[in-house]
Copies of this chain bind each other. A is one copy, B any other.
């Protein structure tokens, strides 16, 4: 009854989501604080106060017909202007409202831009580990996902490997910094190297290759680390942004695409992406939340909360004998599995009410992803559980 493409998904439904459902059930049995659910990137801190204040103010004071009605598929123009002004001020760019398309979050933005540029058989390069849904998004438009492995010492893309992977079918590269699942932030040097390779290959192949930067974690960085703005390094850049994490609005589906004037075919891409927004069924990003963003454009969630969790969990895991790199951004730890088969380790961990996502869900087996966007109390309570778990595993 269902399509062949969808049948393959039914068989291997997202492990992350399966964990989410499992976690829900365990919590019903053992209580919220006694299940250590590191499985889902669902922010555990509320949106900043400004958000709910903005919602109430907008609903009380704006014309309800215009507020809840259709607008241009690209999104409210005044909202796009406020956001582009804010980006320009922060990063010294030169965008206008016309360069932005409001989207229903980053998953929407990625689908829209891939629908816009991909012909069947076009290749899209990602660096593993990577968010596995990139593969689904690319497959939606009959593109081919090409994986390039990162070095597991620092999880940074390697320019030489990228160069080797580029063919005359390469249409785009997707990068993600701050990075899910590793928490790594790409330094300027990495972006420069990627840009250099892409510029060279573009000339060599006589075609445009787009660098798509998926940036839902841009605001979630620690110790004043810089997240460079890629359009300043490479002209065929496309930025996919989401407020899911920066404003804890994951369920509301709000974000935007930036298509700079410097990108080849910029005007056509903006026009086609606006149509793609409509015909894929998004039509437009939710209206009320577009207007909320305009009023909260410089608001941010409490990064101190995540920072505290980061250090607490990192140190606790180290004490328990687990290894991982210290993340500079996002809210994930990417931990080396103490057992060769990380699925086996994850199964044993469930006995201690610890839920984690296998590295294989990011095309990087032998690792575990722990999302520390949960309550600090849960993290504190989890450390003794991790120690017991490691005790059992070490004695197998």
Residues on A facing B (Cβ under 8 Å):
1-7, 9-10, 13-14, 17, 20-21, 40, 42-47, 51-52, 55-56, 59-60, 64-65, 67-73, 104-105, 107-112, 115-119, 122, 133, 136-137, 140-141, 208, 248-253, 264-265, 268-269, 271-272, 275-276, 278-284, 286-289
Q: Across the A-B interface, give the 6 residue pairs with the lowest CB-CB distance, nearest first.
A: A1-B265, A251-B287, A111-B281, A46-B64, A107-B281, A136-B279
| Interchain nearest-CB distance for A223 vs B (Å) | 26
Q: Which of A68, A105, A283 has the largest number of chain B CB atoms within 10 A?
A: A68
User: Which single member of B52, B111, B253 contacts A59 (CB below 8 Å)?
Assistant: B52
| Interchain nearest-CB distance for A50 vs B (Å) | 12
A64 B40 Cβ-Cβ under 8 A: no
A276 B6 Cβ-Cβ under 8 A: yes
Contacts of A249 in B (CB 8 A): 68
Tell me whether chain A's interface is mostly helix, strand or loop, or mixed: helix
Bound-state Cα–Cα, A390 to B265, Å = 44
A104 B265 Cβ-Cβ under 8 A: no
A3 B118 Cβ-Cβ under 8 A: yes
B104 A282 Cβ-Cβ under 8 A: yes
User: Which single member of B3, B10, B253, B268 contacts A286 (CB below 8 Å)?
Assistant: B253
Q: Which of A52, A56, A275, A281 has the largest number of chain B CB atoms within 10 A?
A: A281
B104 A253 Cβ-Cβ under 8 A: yes
Contacts of A59 in B (CB 8 A): 52, 55-56
A sample of 20 inter-chain contacts (CB < 8 A) reads A1-B264, A6-B115, A6-B272, A10-B272, A14-B278, A20-B72, A42-B69, A42-B70, A46-B64, A55-B59, A56-B59, A104-B253, A104-B281, A104-B286, A107-B278, A140-B279, A253-B283, A280-B280, A281-B282, A282-B282
| Interchain nearest-CB distance for A100 vs B (Å) | 17
